Amino acid sequence: MRETEGLNSSFEKLMVFGAAESMSITEWKDVPVELLLRILSLVDDQTVIVASGVCHGWRDAISWGLTRLSLSWCKRSMNDLVLSLAPKFTKLQALGLRQDTPQLHDDAVEAIAAHCHELQELDLSKSFRLTDRSLYALAVGCPELVKLNISGCTGFSDTALGYLTGCCRKLKTLNLCGCVRTATDRALKAIGYNCHQMQSLNLGWCDRVGDEGVKSLAYGCPNLRALDLCGCVLITDDSVVALANNCLHLRSLGLYFCQNITDRAMYSLAQSRVKNKHDVWASMKSRYEEEGLTNLNISQCTALTPPAVQALCDSFPDLHTCPGRHSLIISGCLNLTSVHCACASMQAHRAPHAMPHLAH
């Protein structure tokens, strides 16, 4: 809606300008840059690329003004497209290159790193063919990276990722889901050492991750809000205790299938709430109520018992077991069926009043 209003006002300006200068638009190249960019912000990325080929004027305007682009729709020649576009679109800040079937090779990522130095967000998920060459190029060429998704990329070493974190220290969101070779304790130590602004980290199914790595993260990344450790089968309570003690802004934690996790981990998380409440700074924050766990996945953590999980549920009122909200995920833990969120007890209180109505 706002975009359309902006477009209208651009048209009006164009009319005033056109009348004042007694100038008319006779060719495509006469469309003012501002208006062209405004129009292109409303169309899909394929159209933008076609438009960049209309004439030199349009190509220059687009290369100057285009900051976000996704080529994830491209099913076959993504590599060639990136090679030809990267030198033109040097102002890109966000680039989506997610693939269903792997298409990208290192030369395409090297072209991005060589030309798009302002890049802040890059999605390379499922780029099976990429090797360490890509990570080294990005480390050198794209130091502004804030958000990087390399989930499902199996060709990167932990050494290359460690090098990248040393250069891209502004990283806040990193998706390493399924990067078994990449996400080792060594790599996590590098993240903890270099990326103090990290807020969201996905380590799902990185089954080489151990307590040493997670502890380094907990100490080095106190701003962590979301951490997915689903399927990190080696981790124990020590990891969770370190997170509970150091990452007081943690909102979402995935522990699916972490079967070494016991009640001790649950009590330490519940305790972190109390600790946070006594934090002087926390009491001064007006948005204090927005702190605390809102999502926790402990399904298949079969060692947990109801009292510990209930204590956690009581500490964090945003954790729900009720249908619809379901933010405390306990499926597969048959012994936890007695754990309930606050909604359940409220319903239980209401039930007697509801009865007479039901009788009708």
The site for Zn ion (CB under 5 A) is made up of 320, 322, 325, 341, 343
Round to whole Å and give the CA distance between 251 and 200.
10
Least separation in angstroms between CB 302 and Zn ion: 23
DSSP secondary structure of 242-298? HHHHH-TT--EEE-TT-TT--HHHHHHHHHHHHHHHH-HHHHH-TTGGG-S--EEE-
In the three-class reduction of DSSP (H, G, I as helix; E, B as strand; rest coil), residue 70 is classed as strand
Q: Residue 48 corresponds to which tokens in the numbers above?
A: 């933008």
Annotate 312-329 with DSSP letters as a single string.
Answer: HHHH-TT---STTT--EE
Which C-beta is closer to Zn ion: that of 184 or that of 295? Answer: 295
* Between 172 and 320, CB nearer to Zn ion: 320
Taking the complex as a whole, how short is the minimal distance between the CB of residue 346 and Zn ion, in angstroms?
A: 9
Q: Which residues contact 18 (CB under 8 A, 6 or more apart)?
A: 24, 25
Residue nearest to Zn ion (CB): 343
Report in angstroms how near the CB of residue 347 gets to Zn ion at its nearest. Answer: 9
Query: Between residues 241 and 333, which has the closer beta carbon with respect to Zn ion?
Result: 333
Largest separation between any pair of C-alpha atoms in the chain:
80
Q: How far is the CB of 296 from Zn ion (least distance, A)?
A: 13
DSSP 134-202: HHHHHHHH-TT--EEE-TT--S--HHHHHHHHHH-TT--EEE-TT-TTT--HHHHHHHHHH-TT--EEE
What are the residues whose beta carbons fall under 8 Å from the beta carbon of 283, sequence distance 6 or more?
277
**Smallest distance from the beta carbon of 158 to Zn ion, in angstroms?**
40
Residue with Cβ nearer Zn ion (161 or 319):
319
Q: Which residues pair with 68 in a beta bridge?
A: 94
Nearer to Zn ion, 74 or 336 (CB): 336
Nearer CB in complex with Zn ion: 124/319: 319
Minimum separation from the CB atom of position 306 to Zn ion (A): 16
